[in-house]
Copies of this chain bind each other. A is one copy, B any other.
Amino acid sequence: MVAESIRRSLEAGGLRCTPQRYAVMAFLTEHARHPTAAEIFEGVNLVDPRSSRATTYNNLRDLVKAGLVREVAVEGRAARFDAKIMRHHHFICDRCGNVEDMEWYDVPRPASGSLGKRVLRECELIFRGFCTKCAPRRASRLDAARRVDAG
């Protein structure tokens, strides 16, 4: 059962399972769309219980620190979050900015000469291009496509 597994992973991470904290984890587990903190705040408050903005931010910070959630590196202003269920890479659309999950595969590590004294923990891959929704319009210039969307 999903509820029980969230409860367990919170406790494994040394965090109490509060309604607000549970709601953030549940939302991220159900929505693999890499929502922003504002979207998560809105999402968890569509249903009860109410959670304040500060609590949403606090819990996201704690969940990241506990390793249950990761912040996805992406340009744009607002941080995006991702429940750490399975290893995967990301595809970021040049046109609409959507961040999509991509199947995991191992990446060749850099030559140890180029790594120097650095200690490598992980290699993350970010693919860029046009997503399925945006690819059909790729014939037209990017600017033209943007203009169409704005209109």
> Which residues of chain A have a CB within 8 Å of any CB of chain B?
71, 73-75, 77, 79, 89, 91-92, 94, 102-103, 105, 107-108, 110-111, 114-132, 135, 138
Contacts and interface: CB of A to CB of B under 8 A. Distances in A.
Contact of A120 (B75, B111, B116, B129): B129
B75 A71 contact: yes
A105 B126 CA distance: 14
Q: How many copies does the complex hold?
A: 2
B103 A111 contact: yes
Main secondary structure of the interface of A (DSSP, over half): mixed
A110 B114 CA distance: 24
A135 B107 contact: no
Contacts of A73: 73-75, 92, 126
A140 to B, nearest CB: 13
A129 B125 contact: no
A119 B107 contact: no
A84 to B, nearest CB: 14
A117 B71 CA distance: 27
Nearest to A130: B119
A105 B105 CA distance: 17
A73 B74 CA distance: 5
9 A-B pairs with the lowest CB-CB distances in the bound complex, closest first? A121-B129, A103-B114, A73-B73, A119-B130, A117-B132, A120-B129, A124-B126, A119-B129, A71-B75
Nearest to A122: B128
A127 B89 CA distance: 13
